[in-house]
Chain A
Amino acid sequence: EIVLAQSPGTLSVSPGDRATLSCRASQSVSGAYLAWYQQKPGQAPRLLMYAASRRATGIPDRFSGSGSGTDFTLTISSLEPEDFAVYFCHHYGGAYSFGQGTKLDLK
């Protein structure tokens, strides 16, 4: 089973800041199977990125993804108030594992 470790657990940032979220896999994975989700309080998760770097439908271009092998990154170039949420990375296939999440907190 592939284990995904996200860091940091919480990131304190301000609107307009750049946020960089990390996801590390316990073994090398294909980027085709790496996705990111955003979850706001009281809501279901929403697909943000798939194939490590492709934005899902309707996702603004301030969100970008990168990485390969065991290290993947989600970057939000300039935070908007609605971006303060929890972000999960996900490996599709096998045990369909999720990272434990990174929470973006208002500084």
Chain B
Amino acid sequence: EVQLVESGGGLVQPGGSLRLSCAVSGFTFSNFWMHWVRQVPGQGLVWVSRISSDGTSDGISTTYADSVRGRFTVSRDNAKSTVYLQMNSLRAEDTGTYYCVRDASWFGYYGMDVWGQGTTVIVSS
């Protein structure tokens, strides 16, 4: 069974840091690009970051939403089948549920086909 399990969320003061983890199972992790997507309760979805798979000639690449670039860093450990999101200089507007999401492009189509259950981050003093 394909599973994505996030952890690491919690309450943090503005300016603080958190590291989210997403442990995956049930598929060959190293083949897949992965994303982080945020959702504020009762609101829409906001893409945060993407990390490519290993094995390309260019190595692993990362991209970020403008709102988090320079503050957040996405990384992966293929040996542990885990993707991470290091979140620094947190702001109130970073509050929300963070989903770890699998990118379906390895299958030849474009979308996000598997979602974790999410981990909640609250930035508040």
Q: Which residues of A contact B (CB under 8 A)?
A: 32-33, 35, 37, 44-47, 50-51, 54, 56, 88, 90, 92-93, 95-101
Question: How far, in angstroms, from A96 to B65 measured CA to CA in the complex?
Answer: 9
**Residue B117 interfacial (CB < 8 Å):** yes
Taking a contact as CB atoms closer than 8 A, the residue among A44, A50, A100, A101 that contacts B111 in the complex is A50
Q: How large is the interface on B (under 10, 10 to 19, 20 to 34, 35 or more residues)?
A: 20 to 34
Closest Cβ of chain A to B10, distance in Å, is: 19
- Note all chain B residues with C-beta closer than 8 A to A44: 99, 115-118
Question: How far, in angstroms, from A97 to B116 measured CA to CA in the complex?
Answer: 19
- Note all chain A residues with C-beta closer than 8 A to B65: 95
Closest Cβ of chain A to B111, distance in Å, is: 4
Which B residues from 81 to 125 make CB contacts under 8 A with A?
Answer: 99, 104, 109-118
A-B CB pair tally, cutoff 8 Å: 58
Cβ-closest 10 pairs across A and B? A96-B47, A35-B111, A44-B115, A92-B110, A50-B111, A98-B45, A100-B44, A50-B109, A47-B113, A33-B110
**Residue B76 interfacial (CB < 8 Å):** no
Question: How far, in angstroms, from A56 to B104 measured CA to CA in the complex?
Answer: 11
Question: How far, in angstroms, from A69 to B110 measured CA to CA in the complex?
Answer: 17
- Note all chain A residues with C-beta closer than 8 A to B44: 88, 98-101
Closest to B114 in A: A47
Closest Cβ of chain B to A57, distance in Å, is: 8
Question: How far, in angstroms, from A101 to B81 measured CA to CA in the complex?
Answer: 32
Q: Once the chains bind, are B112 and A47 in contact (CB under 8 Å)?
A: yes
- Note all chain A residues with C-beta closer than 8 A to B113: 47, 50, 56
Take A44-B99, A44-B116, A44-B117 as given contacts and tell me if A98 and B47 are in contact as well, using a CB distance cutoff of 8 Å: yes
Q: Once the chains bind, are B110 and A93 in contact (CB under 8 Å)?
A: yes
- Note all chain A residues with C-beta closer than 8 A to B99: 44-45
Question: How far, in angstroms, from A39 to B115 measured CA to CA in the complex?
Answer: 11
Q: Once the chains bind, are B115 and A95 in contact (CB under 8 Å)?
A: no
Take A32-B110, A45-B45, A50-B104 as given contacts and tell me if A96 and B118 are in contact as well, using a CB distance cutoff of 8 Å: no
